[in-house]
Structure 1
Amino acid sequence: MNEIWNYLQQNRDAVLDALGQHVVLAVLPLLIGVLLALPVGYLGVRFGWLYHPILNVSGVIYAIPSLAVFVALPYVLGTQILSPVNIVVALAIYTLALMARTVADGLRSVDPALTEAATAMGYQRTRRLLEVELPLAAPVILAGVRVAAVSNISLVSVGALLGVGGLGALFTRGFQLFYTAPIVVGIVLSVLLAAIADLLIVLFQRAVTPWTRVAAGRN
């Protein structure tokens, strides 16, 4: 324990820099992927024949090993191998692949009677989507966001094998030096970061879907 504490004291700035980079590399692609998944998932519901192709393509993309994507993207994008852009783009693609199905399933879970009632009240398609369907689908969608957030936090570390990876750099440094302190610090901070991200999303979900707590209380 003293060894770990001494390492933190001596390398505080480096650890904080790695933590900050990890947060950016995990959160930015999460936001991009979710924003892209919303219209893709909606199209899968709006045009039923697109639903299964979206699911199939998403599954194939998500099955591609992350390291292979990190290595291939510089050749596709024309970026440097050490550019953080590669990590952001790769994780945004993974988030899109994961969330497209979640958004579609969330929208499909909305009771058709409620959407018909909204239409009868004069709601146009866009307003009905934004004010009725998406709020009702929010619990399902945010459950997917929780998975995507934790997944991104984990996958960012893989980028350390290419020289970019936030807390993953502590892992590689520890293995290279046969020094366990940075490895332990990296693991603990990664777990804490994932737990905090999950908690924040849960609190956000509770704030935007208060009716779910009322329904749970009645049951």
Structure 2
Amino acid sequence: MNILHFVDAFFSDSSHWHGYDGIPTRLREHVQYSLLALVIAAAVGLPAGLLTGHTGRGGNALALIATAARALPSFGLLVLMFILLGFGLLPVMIPLVVLAIPPILVTTYEAVRSVDPSPVDAARGMGMPETRILFRVELPVALPLILSGLRSAAIQIVSTATIAAYVSFGGLGRYVIDGLYQHDYEKVVGGATLVAGLALVTLALFWAAGRYAVSPGVRRRG
């Protein structure tokens, strides 16, 4: 049997579309975990990246933090948090948030630092407050690169959230983990296909967000 046969068999089986283990339920769980982790990571990474990028201070510390966070194995951290904290949402969220913060933090810092200093100096010379300079001058120009950092973090979260099923959590990873345990490769391939599809949808959403949020002038320059 080839992969396409497994995919067709998985999605054509009506039992996979109903109940607590149905595709709609697992997909909703996966999206909820991923969205919550992204929101938490953005709430930490965006303000820190904007502040350090605007002031130009803390760049070396950010690089050190990002390198250390990226070096942490997500699966090992998940198992460790599960052992220390037991069942619940927290041991799942910690590895996902730790994974997502570095690309958001570093990319936001670099995006603000890469803004042409001429308009920033002009705004400062006109007496514009620093917060308005950041949000009115620097942020609109830096937004495409900031969105790319958020997009990278979101894709990593969507992909890595699959391992939450290893500690008896829900989401699309249930199909992969349970399928491997049961030697049901139809379920494994179906779950992997759903995760890949969700990643593609995430890419499309960020592309649409960029088209809507980024000004045409900045897009053309990019």
TM-score above 0.5: yes
TM-score (norm 2): 0.87
Q: Is the 8 A contact 2:54 2:134 kept in 1?
A: no
Q: CA deviation at 1:195?
A: 0.6
Partner deviation per Cα, 1:123-169 (whole Å, 9 max, x = no partner)? 21111111221111111111111111110011101121111251111
Q: In structure 2, what is the equivalent of residue 203 of structure 1?
A: 208
Structure 1 vs Structure 2 CA RMSD: 1.9
Bigger CA drift: 16-25 or 117-126? Answer: 117-126
After TM superposition, list the pairs within 5 Å mapping 1:1-219 onto structure 2: 1=5, 3-7=9-13, 9-13=14-18, 14=21, 15-74=23-82, 79-80=85-86, 82-209=87-214, 210-215=216-221
TM-score (norm 1): 0.88
Q: Distance in 1 between matches of 2:61 and 2:220?
A: 37
Q: CA deviation at 1:49?
A: 4.5
* Total equivalences in the alignment: 212
Percentage of identical aligned residues: 27
Q: Distance in 2 between matches of 1:165 and 1:5?
A: 19
The runs of 5 or more residues in structure 1 that have no matched partner are: none
Q: Distance in 2 between matches of 1:6 and 1:204?
A: 33
Q: Distance in 2 between matches of 1:46 and 1:129?
A: 7
Q: Is the 8 A contact 1:109 1:137 kept in 2?
A: yes
Q: Distance in 1 between matches of 2:80 and 2:69?
A: 14
Q: Distance in 2 between matches of 1:179 and 1:22?
A: 21
Q: Distance in 1 between matches of 2:39 and 2:46?
A: 11
Bigger CA drift: 54-63 or 67-76? Answer: 67-76
